[in-house]
Structure 1
Amino acid sequence: LFGGRSLTPTWSEGPSAELSPQIAIVITAFFFFFAAWVPTCNMCACVFLHLCSSSEDLDVRLGFDLCTEEQDFLCKRKKYVAAALKNVLQLEEDLQDDEIPVVAIMTTGGGMRSLTTTYGSLLGLKKLNVIDCAMYLTGLSGTTWTMANLYRDADWSQQDLSGKINEARKHVTKCKMGSFSMERMKYYNKQLCQRKQEGHRTSSIDLWGLIVEYLLHDGKDNHKLSDQRQAVDQGQNPLPIYVAINVKDNYSTLDFKEWLEFTPYEVGFMKYGAFIRSEDFGSEFFMGRLMKRLPESRICYLEGDLLSWKNGKLIKNIIDYINWPVLPMRPHEQKSQIFTTASPLSRVLRGAITERTSVAQYHSFLKGLQLHNDYLENDKFCRWKDTVLDTSPNQLTETAEYLSLIDTGFFINTSCPPLLRPERKVDVILHLNYSAGSQILSCKYYSEQGIPFPKVALSEEERKNLKECYLFDDAETPGAPILLFFPLVNDTYQSYKAPGKLSAVANRFSPYSTYSVTYKEQDYDQLVKLTEYNILNNKHLILQALRTAVERKRRHKKYGA
């Protein structure tokens, strides 16, 4: 409008104007009316457009820089990291701020298997004092369950982890038959109705979130993502980052997907450089302004979103003990079973389950934001522009009413993308891989995006017989982090610690299948011990990576290159 320019916020700089949505509407109406009678009022229109173009007074933060809260966190965290690095590397002098490398612990998904292995890996890193060396801890899918449990405790990384591991053991090994008791079903129905009344759009993923709550806790869990700020407010723990992807209804994840990151401070799109406060996620926005605030979702709903059950198989494993009738399949669905009776309660639950089972929908905070003409040329945007739809502004997410979120495992089983934002300047990534089947780390995606990442070169024979840890260091690629890759394998552990046990850790026919929701106590214990052992047995490679990163920071400081 008004000379072909948009009335929506853009990236142009300018003074902030404190205009409420109501006042803005009145002023807009005035200018339309005035322009009809006085066509020469171009100067007035330009002033109004300049006020509207400022992003400083919006409820959506536009920009690719880290938010102020995260920057403050990094300053506080450095004292823990500097002390820990001096200790583990046995340095004679204290590290200066510009000599401290940014270390991140990155996990992958895999249901209860990844929940269990994350505990084991962190236990090993805790014993090596390496958790205190890390700035970030990222996760998706089942590892988010472990992270959400840990970050209830404001000082979890400063304490013995055995208590939390034993608490998780109780829930992983408990009988899951109560998941669909009549009492629980009434609870699910009540919670879903309440969520809908609050203004959220409910789906089968919300039901799954409530089931996850039962699987991992003794009762209702009121914990929220923003509550985790207490666990990082003094820099006492690594900053948690959770990852999901946004998709479109009529396109596969290969054709369209957008990375969405969640921290205790913000939720946002890396591609657009658009972020909102974590407590506002799910509320209604328009043109960058918060129009209707909805209650912040409990963490169990986000856990359901970040681990969408795939094709109903996880649900099927929970409830296989009941002989339930098989429903007719839609063309895009795989065979699954659900419980159905004539009661209104079960009809509500059946309606939730038989919807598209992998997508959680939230009000889009990008709604109404039109992109500036130069936005598509922005280097930061192009970093995550990976489909043909990204070349057409009208195909991007700001036109959608809702976000459609799924587990990132539907595309790549990784939580690495937030760590590859250049603003975070990550120097070392401990890649803790808990995938089933093929565990070959794929860097093809990052290469295609032009994102600096180490080249992973493994022979076919090496891929078939993976070792416990690999160190990949591509020093010739500027900006590429040092990568420590830990596959989920039982290599020397079976020879030195537990002969004959855990012969097929990530095999789908093993007790640790992605779709297994209950473990035997001995299976849980062995998996924790295995992943702890794999970390401790490769201490030398971890220390080598940390020492190399410190030396490079010092060399860069000295020579400026």
Structure 2
Amino acid sequence: MLGNCESGPHVTGSESENLQCPVSLLSIRIIRAKVTSKDTLSASDCYVTLYLPTASYNKFRTQIVKDSDNPVWDEVFYFRIQTEIKNILKLEVCDADPVTKDDMQFIVHYDLAKIQPGDTVLEIFSLKPENEGSSYLYEYLEVEFKLAVSPGPPEQLISNGVLVARELSILDVKVNKEENDELLKAQKNVVLTVQESYEGTQKTSKDFDSFRFHCIKSWGPVLKVKLQRVSSREENDSDYLFVLPLKMLPVGVQVKVDLLMDGGALELYLQVMGWPQNLDVRLGYELCTGEQDFLHKRKKVVADALKKLFHLKVGLQEHEVPVVAVMATGGGVRAMTALYGHLLALQKLNILDCVSYITTASGSTWTLTNLYQNIDWSKRNLEEIIKVAKSQMLKSKLNVISIQRLKFYHKELVERVEKGHLPSFTALWALVQEAFLHDKPDYCTLSEQRQALNWGQNPLPFYTAINVKDNHISTFDFREWVEFSPYEVGFLKYGAYIRAEDFDSEFFMGKLVKKIPESRLCFLEGIWTNIFSRNLLDGLYWSSSPEEFWERWVKDMTDKSEENSMSDGYVTVYKPPSSGAGKLCEVFNDILTDRPLKGETHNFLKSLDFDKDYLQQKEFIEWKDTILDASPNKLTPVEQSLCLMDIGYFINNSGPPLLKPERNVDVIISLDYDLSQVFKQAQMLAKYCEVQRIPFPKVEPSEEDMKNPKECYVFSDDDNPKAPILVYFPLVNSTFKEYKAPGVKRTPSEMGGGEVDVNKDSSPYTTIHVTYTEENFDKLLNLSTYNILCSKDFIFKAIQSAIQKRQNI
């Protein structure tokens, strides 16, 4: 945690702390370098660049020393830094080239934590060429660092031990409306720039004469004002009329400034606001207030259900109530259909009222988003809800990519961008997918699902995704779990969360800087299930008719379905073909022209810094997911946007939210919809937990179980009381072939109902199928229901073991 700072009221556990920490002045003197050239006919034209993103957005550079193998610069650069955050300086040694791009020869990443206030440190960096084909061998770079405490006031910080929010200066600027109108008539506008701010540069227009800038206070932000011709694209259209450091303005007081110019003066009204310490990003690993309140209510419901289920003479106290969760994998409409059957069976066994959490991934999310439109769905007759879903499964999907539909999608996407959402190919997929599952647009949102949780009447749903890099970095090298609930959206690893209704709004340093209307739920479903969209682009582009599209798309999905390959090394880069000839292509071109095609959303971690000791924090290490974790300048807070993907690109399992220690889950009912290999997803999750040192039972089936799997297995770890009990349900057709219900054998005429093909090579339920026959839908639904009903004793025993464990604590 942050040290050597004054803090507010002491905060225990993993909550955030408010602190006041001094700012330091860092000087960096680039002294000299020693260079040996491979080419005796030429010498280098050397310069050095400096980039310290925790102190400035700008990259600085020395002068060029021409034709020298021993360049001497002796140039000093100054930065105001916060020593309680992780400061990584990037130095680049470059060779200037007047004809081609300058040759970057070597990079130094230097952790400034090595320098303490009052120290003078001389570093001689031993250099090797960054480019193996370089003509130069850089032998060393000599740099001197000095650090002193700044005499100014301390900086206010908020930290959860991993991420740090720094004190902001918030500047409001209002331009006199009448004078601004006159300038606009003269084809001029007022240009306001605060380089140290999130907004950067803003300009007046017919509709905007009031502006707000969010700036990191310790960076010493400066307001610059000039006039510019409306039609001009030149950055230096005129000299600045006004330059003012924000520290010169009194906090909370509006100041009038008259800008003198030809023909009179322009009135500006400036006001610096104090930093509100109530962040809009919640920094903390504890459960949010909404979830805590829900659990308190839900445990009463669960306690009553358990008392009836097990005929307990005395009701359970709150601390004795076990936390039971349902965990579903993905699997397209197969997962959606089978999850309906599983939940129906849990309802019939009166176990559904004992469940506190349900987590889903990819296709299984469709079931929950449908169910949670009913505020008391778990109390209702699920068979009626299933009938509606079934009708969508049976309908033809040909019209979802008709010309008329594509024009509707185009209109929706344009309106979405106008509201402030980033343009995204995933959004197009979301609309196509919505047409698969609904007859008309669904205007529900994720935050509205709270109504189904107000009294603890239903389990709390979680939807899962992973955040990845969009430039040639595999999901096995970088991915970060992101959980979505009706209360919050957040990163498990960073302990950073925002309200569900604020997702995809713009944030800076933990503050909401631009509220964007909450997306319809279908656009979130497009993120959670976009593993199915990767061939949609080519299929649409080259098709001239809906029939041709389906033929191409299904063929591509057959070749590259996730059941055959989980896309190791997958990169989110979508490129439209260079030409096309179909009728669909004409509309499709209009949708995608000059727009980024990756799945982008606004980054709510934008610009948050890292605590100097973030790598030592237990919560961060437990959720360590990437080889880049030790490189804060490459992690998510530095990115302009998030790139959220279906978790099937890594592990097709929705378990990570349930493994959060604060949720203290006792029993996980694992529903696996994978056709490729029984136990595969459970074993992958168990291995992941082993590597991450997360308590979880080993999944070690016998050879016989691998060959002839049964309906249910129980895995536990008696040596680790923190490990949950895993009640595992693979998608198999075992005794259902002969029994239509537990203990009820099929008659000869009913044997056809037990013929459910769940073999990946021949099954009608492979992910490429988005339409089922009525017979196939009913068979899969009945199989899923039966597998739970015939295994009730396994579930009952696991829950009873969890009750006993809690009572013995």
Does the pair score TM above 0.5? yes
Residues 269 and 471 of structure 1: CA distance in aligned 2, closer, same or farther (over 3 Å): same
> Pick from 635, 641, 665: which aligns with 1:426?
665
1:499 and 2:742 correspond: no
Contact 1:488–1:506 under 8 Å retained in 2: no
Give the structure 1 partner of residue 614 of structure 2.
375
Give CA-to-partner distance per residue, 1:290-314, whole Å, 9 cap, x none: 1111111100001111000346457
Q: Which amino acid aligns with 1:412?
A: I
What is the CA–CA distance in structure 1 between the aligned matches of 2:790 and 2:695, rounded to whole Å? Answer: 29
Give CA-to-partner distance per residue, 1:490-511, whole Å, 9 cap, x none: 0000121263544432524311
Unaligned runs of 5+ in 1: 38-50, 557-561
* Partner-residue secondary structure (3-state), 2:548: coil
Give CA-to-partner distance per residue, 1:190-220, whole Å, 9 cap, x none: 1011111111112221111111211111211
What is the CA–CA distance in structure 2 between the aligned matches of 1:335 and 1:460, rounded to whole Å? Answer: 45
> Pick from 656, 679, 685: which aligns with 1:417?
656
What is the CA–CA distance in structure 2 between the aligned matches of 1:197 and 1:375, rounded to whole Å? Answer: 38
TM-score norm. by structure 2 comes to 0.62
What is the CA–CA distance in structure 1 between the aligned matches of 2:247 and 2:416, rounded to whole Å? Answer: 46
Contact 2:413–2:428 under 8 Å retained in 1: yes
Superposed, 1:113-124 pairs within 5 Å as 113-124=334-345
* Partner-residue secondary structure (3-state), 1:499: helix
Give CA-to-partner distance per residue, 1:213-236, whole Å, 9 cap, x none: 111112111000000010001110
Q: Which amino acid aligns with 1:363?
A: H
Q: Which amino acid aligns with 1:183?
A: Q
Residues 92 and 30 of structure 1: CA distance in aligned 2, closer, same or farther (over 3 Å): same
Give the structure 1 partner of residue 637 of structure 2.
398
1:255 and 2:477 correspond: yes
Q: Which amino acid aligns with 1:254?
A: F
Give the structure 1 partner of residue 489 of structure 2.
267
Residues 445 and 403 of structure 1: CA distance in aligned 2, closer, same or farther (over 3 Å): same
Task: Report which of the two structures shows the higher radius of gyration computed on alpha carbons.
Answer: 2
What is the CA–CA distance in structure 2 between the aligned matches of 1:254 and 1:309, rounded to whole Å? Answer: 16
* Partner-residue secondary structure (3-state), 1:323: helix
Q: Which amino acid aligns with 1:209?
A: A
Superposed, 1:297-376 pairs within 5 Å as 297-310=519-532, 312-313=534-535, 322-323=547-548, 340-341=582-583, 345-349=587-591, 359-376=598-615
Q: Which amino acid aligns with 1:478?
A: P
Deviation at 1:394, TM superposition (A): 1.1
Q: Which has the higher strand share?
A: 2
What is the CA–CA distance in structure 1 between the aligned matches of 2:311 and 2:690, rounded to whole Å? Answer: 36
Deviation at 1:92, TM superposition (A): 1.5
* Partner-residue secondary structure (3-state), 2:454: coil
Q: Which amino acid aligns with 2:406?
A: M
Deviation at 1:344, TM superposition (A): 5.1
Give CA-to-partner distance per residue, 1:381-439, whole Å, 9 cap, x none: 11111322111111210010110011101111111000000000000000011112013
Residues 393 and 355 of structure 1: CA distance in aligned 2, closer, same or farther (over 3 Å): closer
Residues 414 and 233 of structure 1: CA distance in aligned 2, closer, same or farther (over 3 Å): same
Residues 355 and 524 of structure 1: CA distance in aligned 2, closer, same or farther (over 3 Å): farther
Q: Which amino acid aligns with 2:159?
A: T
1:447 and 2:690 correspond: yes
Give the structure 1 partner of residue 292 of structure 2.
71
Give the structure 2 partner of residue 216 of structure 1.
437
> Pick from 140, 149, 160: which aligns with 1:11?
160
What is the CA–CA distance in structure 2 between the aligned matches of 1:383 and 1:454, rounded to whole Å? Answer: 16
What is the CA–CA distance in structure 1 between the aligned matches of 2:696 and 2:524, rounded to whole Å? Answer: 29
Residues 114 and 245 of structure 1: CA distance in aligned 2, closer, same or farther (over 3 Å): same
* Partner-residue secondary structure (3-state), 1:245: strand
Contact 1:326–1:336 under 8 Å retained in 2: no
Q: Percent identity?
A: 45
Deviation at 1:461, TM superposition (A): 3.0
Q: Which amino acid aligns with 2:751?
A: P
Give the structure 1 partner of residue 24 of structure 2.
2
Residues 146 and 76 of structure 1: CA distance in aligned 2, closer, same or farther (over 3 Å): same
* Partner-residue secondary structure (3-state), 2:628: helix
Contact 2:402–2:584 under 8 Å retained in 1: no
Contact 1:119–1:528 under 8 Å retained in 2: yes
Give the structure 2 partner of residue 45 of structure 1.
none
Contact 2:166–2:509 under 8 Å retained in 1: no
* Partner-residue secondary structure (3-state), 1:122: helix
Give CA-to-partner distance per residue, 1:107-142, whole Å, 9 cap, x none: 110000001001000000000111100110110111
Residues 521 and 449 of structure 1: CA distance in aligned 2, closer, same or farther (over 3 Å): same
Deviation at 1:34, TM superposition (A): 9.3
Q: Which amino acid aligns with 2:24?
A: F
Residues 452 and 17 of structure 1: CA distance in aligned 2, closer, same or farther (over 3 Å): closer
* Partner-residue secondary structure (3-state), 2:527: helix
> Pick from 693, 717, 728: which aligns with 1:474?
717
What is the CA–CA distance in structure 1 between the aligned matches of 2:520 and 2:324, rounded to whole Å? Answer: 30
* Partner-residue secondary structure (3-state), 1:389: coil
* Partner-residue secondary structure (3-state), 1:57: coil
Deviation at 1:362, TM superposition (A): 0.4
Residues 317 and 86 of structure 1: CA distance in aligned 2, closer, same or farther (over 3 Å): farther
Q: Which amino acid aligns with 1:545?
A: A
Give the structure 2 partner of residue 201 of structure 1.
422
Contact 1:313–1:515 under 8 Å retained in 2: no
Residues 216 and 326 of structure 1: CA distance in aligned 2, closer, same or farther (over 3 Å): closer
What is the CA–CA distance in structure 2 between the aligned matches of 1:308 and 1:433, rounded to whole Å? Answer: 19
Contact 2:330–2:363 under 8 Å retained in 1: yes
Contact 1:261–1:269 under 8 Å retained in 2: yes
Q: Which has the higher contact order (CA 8 A, sep 6+)?
A: 1
* Partner-residue secondary structure (3-state), 1:22: strand
Unaligned runs of 5+ in 2: 1-22, 26-80, 86-154, 173-213, 223-243, 249-273, 557-569, 741-749
Give the structure 1 partner of residue 391 of structure 2.
170
1:22 and 2:171 correspond: yes
Residues 104 and 174 of structure 1: CA distance in aligned 2, closer, same or farther (over 3 Å): same
Greater alpha carbon shift after TM alignment, 63-72 vs 182-191: 182-191
Greater alpha carbon shift after TM alignment, 201-210 vs 308-317: 308-317
> Pick from 763, 771, 789: which aligns with 1:518?
771
Give the structure 1 partner of residue 179 of structure 2.
none
Give the structure 2 partner of residue 463 of structure 1.
706
Greater alpha carbon shift after TM alignment, 522-531 vs 435-444: 435-444
What is the CA–CA distance in structure 2 between the aligned matches of 1:517 and 1:304, rounded to whole Å? Answer: 15
Superposed, 1:126-165 pairs within 5 Å as 126-165=347-386
Residues 236 and 314 of structure 1: CA distance in aligned 2, closer, same or farther (over 3 Å): farther
TM-score norm. by structure 1 comes to 0.88
Residues 26 and 434 of structure 1: CA distance in aligned 2, closer, same or farther (over 3 Å): closer
* Partner-residue secondary structure (3-state), 1:268: strand
Contact 1:156–1:237 under 8 Å retained in 2: yes
What is the CA–CA distance in structure 2 between the aligned matches of 1:151 and 1:283, rounded to whole Å? Answer: 24
Deviation at 1:18, TM superposition (A): 10
What is the CA–CA distance in structure 2 between the aligned matches of 1:355 and 1:29, rounded to whole Å? Answer: 32
Deviation at 1:36, TM superposition (A): 11
Deviation at 1:2, TM superposition (A): 3.5
Greater alpha carbon shift after TM alignment, 376-385 vs 333-342: 333-342
Residues 212 and 184 of structure 1: CA distance in aligned 2, closer, same or farther (over 3 Å): same
Residues 67 and 239 of structure 1: CA distance in aligned 2, closer, same or farther (over 3 Å): same
